[in-house]
């Protein structure tokens, strides 16, 4: 009798333990349910506690913009290598730059122009960098005198129907002592801006100049043209009202006007660098 | 019989040796302690930033931070050749970036809540005085030179270029800016290294543009940073006439990314810079 009692006192707890384990640990048992509840609680806590984090990857340019920047660089290098003087070339221009800023900066020590492109988060990350040796940036703008002289050289022939002698061209082109018809600059900045949702477009700025010069919105309608006045400078064309802000954009358009740069290149009146 | 002269001479020599040894050891110990102090302060700051972020919680969709920041500005004197000075400054900038989370946190580390929009705040991690050194030859390190250094030199702790580390290599997005004069980095000048937190877009208050209309996106236009004698847009040198335009362009545009700024502590620049960037005080009240 005592033996049976002892046996029962061992067996019953054993059976209870086995049942408990089966109940808890079987694939559809309570343990799995507890796990689900705990992981749900975990996930909720994660949502509630701890600061959210962000991740980053290497900032890049959109492929289309990268292609435009590459074209600008290859055009400038081609112009640098060209033996033709007083010539024009075309890099294709920039589509709407959006959050991208392109700067060209001349480094006196290295005798090269660095092209740096900012974009990325907030538009302040450097996404591209390249140096072009032996090239100095310039603009056909910055002072009324510069723009007037350039105008006289390349468009003066059509001015008010007065035909200007060809010798006048040669005077400015080949006698720098008479005054510059282009303005060398240390830095050029090209980006996009808008004014209260209107007047949206690419802009060009020259940081070394006073803030009231070359400061208009949508003032970079150059249709992709560049000018090479000598063996080291390559000039950009800010557009304005034939004043210190630059030439009128009509001189760069493809409207077929006889005096426009595209038309003059077609008829051979002005030189192409390529 | 005791030789008294010999005794006193021997004693004197021993005394001199003890004093010289003490001075040598004290110098090493104090130098170690001062380095240790600096590292301790940096570790405390970094831990407080991490704790503040880990211990933040959300209430009704807005994030609340309650743990305080325990940071202080560290003053440091450095010297060496041009390369050594650039290396030290770059390392301090990287350390500052590391301390404040490497741009990984979605909201500003300085704001207690993201319920309301706020301008960006800055904290000066360290001020550095570059001392004279015979090895520092020639003109100062120009802004362009230093930018080239960051672009081409590896940050040893992460095995990527410094510039890449600031922009994405730490895990989060970021940028680096320099506000230097045309003289660049040179002896007998002081520089500040500041962490600039992202502008906060308020969850409860929509972000407004300067034109007054709600913006669907922030930071859609590049910052127009101008400089005279500029060595590069990202790292720029500014002349006296360009200070206000340059610094306020940088500071007043809404930038939704954390950044590291190296600023020349020349009085005019310092005044403009800290006028436009809300300075967060350290635990030492600095």
Task: Tell me the pLDDT tens digit for each residue of A56-108.
Answer: 889 899 999 999 999 999 999 999 999 998 999 999 999 999 889 999 999 88
Q: Quick one: which of B256, B263, B249 has its CA closest to B118? A: B256
Q: From the CA of A89, how many Å to the nearest CA of chain B?
A: 26
pLDDT over 80 at B238, yes or no: no
More confident residue, B145 or A225: A225
Contact A123 B65 (CB under 8 A): no
A9 against B228, higher pLDDT: A9
> Of the candidates A54, A122, A208, which has its C-beta nearest B106's C-beta?
A54
Q: Which residues of A touch B57 (CB under 8 A)?
A: 48-50
Given a cut of 50, whether residue A238 has pLDDT beyond it is yes
pLDDT tens per residue across span A189-201: 999 888 777 778 9
Cβ contact B257–A121 (<8 Å)? yes
pLDDT tens digits for range B132-182 = 998 888 888 988 889 899 999 999 999 999 999 999 998 899 989 888 887
**More confident: B280 or A83:** A83
The residues in B 17-46 lying below 8 A from A, measured between CB atoms, are: none
In this predicted model, what pLDDT tens digit does every residue of B241-258 receive, in sequence order?
333 344 555 555 667 788
What's residue A139's pLDDT?
Answer: 97
Query: Is A60 at the interface with chain B, CB within 8 A?
Result: no
Q: What is the mean pLDDT of residues B56-84?
A: 83
User: Considering only A125-129, B137-141, B171-175, B185-189, which range has the smallest mean pLDDT?
Assistant: B137-141
* B48 vs A contacts (CB less than 8 Å): none
Inform me whether the pLDDT recorded for B98 exceeds 80.
yes
Q: Residue B209's pLDDT band (boundaries 50, 70, 90)?
A: very low
Q: Which residue in the set A47, A57, A123 is minimally distant from B168, CB to CB?
A: A57
Name the least confident of A33-47, A207-221, B181-195. A33-47
Contact B173 A121 (CB under 8 A): yes
**pLDDT reported for residue B157:** 93
* pLDDT class of B224 with cuts at 50, 70, 90: very low
Residue B255 in contact with partner chain A when CB distance is under 8 A: yes
Chain A CB within 8 Å of residue B168 CB: yes
CA distance to partner chain B, nearest, from residue A209 (Å):
9
Where do the domains of chain A lie? Answer: 2-48, 63-272
pLDDT of residue B229: 30
Mean pLDDT (chain B, rounded): 75
Residue A266 has pLDDT above 50, yes or no: yes
Q: Which of A98, A124, A194 sits opposite B259 (nearest CB)?
A: A124
Confidence class for position A123, pLDDT limits 50, 70, 90:
confident
> Is A208's CB within 8 Å of B228's CB?
yes
User: Which of B57, B105, B232 is closest, CB to CB, to A48?
Assistant: B57
CB within 8 Å of chain B, chain A residues 127-166:
129
Q: Cβ of B197 under 8 Å from any chain A Cβ?
A: no
| pLDDT at residue B1, rounded to an integer | 55
| Band (B123; pLDDT cuts 50, 70, 90) | very high
Which position has the higher pLDDT, B3 or B60?
B60
- Tell me if chain B has a CB within 8 Å of the CB of A194: yes
Tokens of A249: 């954009």
What is the model's pLDDT at position B93?
96
3-state SS, chain A, equals: CHHHHHHHHHHHHHHHHHHHHHHHHCCCCHHHHHHHHHHHHHHHHHHHECCCECCCCCCCCCHHHHHHHHHHHHHHHHHHHCCCCCEEEECCCCCCCCCCEEEEEEECCCCEEEEEEEECHHHCEEEEEEEEECCEEEECCCCHHHHHHHHHHHCHHHHHHCCCCHHHHHHHHHCHHHCCCCEECCEEEEEEEEECCEEEEEEEECCCCCCCCCCCCCCCCCCCEEEECCCCEEEECCECCCECCEECHHHHCCCCCCCCHHHHHHHCCCEECC
Top-confidence range, A173-177, B50-54, B79-83? B79-83
Nearest-by-Cβ selection for B167 from A114, A120, A129: A120
The SS3 assignment for B281 reads: coil
Rounded mean pLDDT of A154-163? 65
The C-alpha of A205 sits at a distance from chain B's nearest C-alpha, in angstroms, of 9
Q: For residue A152, what pLDDT band results from cuts at 50, 70 and 90?
A: confident
Q: Which residues of A touch B58 (CB under 8 A)?
A: 47-49
Q: Average pLDDT, whole number, for chain A?
A: 86
Residue A167 vs residue B46, higher pLDDT: B46
A198/B contact by beta carbon, under 8 A = no
Q: What is the pLDDT of residue A176?
A: 67
Furthest-apart CA atoms within chain B: distance in Å: 103
State percent of chain B over pLDDT 90.
Answer: 28
* Over residues B20-24, mean pLDDT: 83
């Amino acid at each position: 009798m005592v033996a049976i009692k002892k046996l029962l006192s061992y067996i019953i707890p054993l059976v209870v333990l086995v049942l408990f384990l089966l109940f808890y640990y079987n694939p559809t048992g309570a343990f799995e349910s507890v796990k689900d509840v705990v992981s749900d609680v975990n996930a909720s806590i994660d949502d509630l506690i701890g600061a959210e984090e962000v991740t980053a990857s290497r900032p890049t340019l959109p492929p289309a913009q990268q292609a435009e920047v590459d074209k600008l660089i290859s055009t400038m290098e081609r112009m640098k290598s060209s033996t033709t003087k007083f010539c024009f070339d075309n890099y294709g221009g920039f589509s709407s730059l959006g959050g991208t800023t392109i700067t060209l900066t001349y480094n006196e020590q290295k005798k090269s122009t660095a092209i740096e492109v900012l974009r990325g988060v907030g538009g302040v990350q450097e996404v591209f960098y390249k140096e072009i040796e032996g090239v100095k940036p310039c603009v056909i703008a910055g002072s009324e005198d510069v723009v007037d002289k350039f105008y006289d050289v390349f468009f003066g022939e059509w001015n008010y129907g007065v035909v200007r002698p060809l010798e006048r061209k040669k005077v400015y082109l080949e006698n720098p002592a008479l005054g510059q018809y282009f303005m060398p600059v240390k830095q050029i900045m090209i980006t996009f801006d808008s004014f209260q949702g209107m007047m949206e477009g690419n802009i060009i700025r020259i940081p070394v100049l006073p803030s009231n010069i070359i400061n208009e919105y949508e003032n970079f309608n150059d249709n992709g043209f560049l000018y090479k006045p000598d063996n080291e400078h390559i000039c950009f064309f800010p557009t304005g009202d034939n004043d210190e802000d630059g030439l009128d954009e009509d001189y760069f358009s493809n409207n077929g006007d006889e005096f426009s740069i595209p038309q003059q290149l077609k008829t051979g009146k002005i030189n192409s660098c390529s | 019989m005791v030789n008294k002269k010999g005794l006193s001479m021997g004693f004197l020599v021993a005394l001199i040796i003890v004093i010289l040894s003490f001075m040598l050891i004290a110098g090493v110990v104090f130098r170690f302690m001062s380095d240790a102090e600096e590292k301790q302060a940096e570790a405390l700051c970094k831990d407080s930033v991490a704790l503040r972020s880990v211990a933040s919680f959300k209430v009704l969709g807005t994030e609340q931070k309650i743990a305080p920041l325990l940071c202080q500005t560290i003053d440091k004197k450095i010297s060496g050749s041009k390369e050594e000075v650039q290396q030290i400054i770059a390392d301090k900038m990287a350390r500052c970036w590391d301390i404040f989370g490497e741009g990984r946190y979605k909201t500003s580390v300085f704001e207690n809540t993201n319920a309301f929009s706020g301008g960006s705040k800055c904290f000066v991690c360290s001020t550095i005085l570059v001392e004279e050194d015979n090895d520092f030859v020639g003109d100062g390190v120009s802004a362009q030179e230093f930018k080239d250094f960051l672009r081409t030199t590896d940050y040893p702790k992460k095995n990527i270029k410094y510039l890449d580390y600031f922009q994405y290599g730490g895990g989060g997005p970021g940028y680096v800016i320099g506000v230097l004069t045309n003289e660049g980095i040179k002896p007998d000048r002081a520089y500040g290294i500041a962490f600039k937190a992202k502008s906060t877009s308020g969850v409860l208050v929509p972000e407004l543009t300067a034109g007054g209309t709600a913006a669907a996106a922030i930071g859609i236009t590049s910052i127009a940073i101008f400089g005279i004698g500029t060595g590069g847009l990202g790292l720029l040198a500014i002349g006296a006439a360009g200070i206000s335009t340059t610094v306020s362009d940088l500071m007043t545009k809404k930038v939704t990314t954390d950044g590291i700024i190296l600023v020349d502590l020349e009085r005019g620049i310092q005044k403009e810079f800290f006028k436009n960037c809300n300075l967060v005080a350290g635990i030492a009240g600095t």
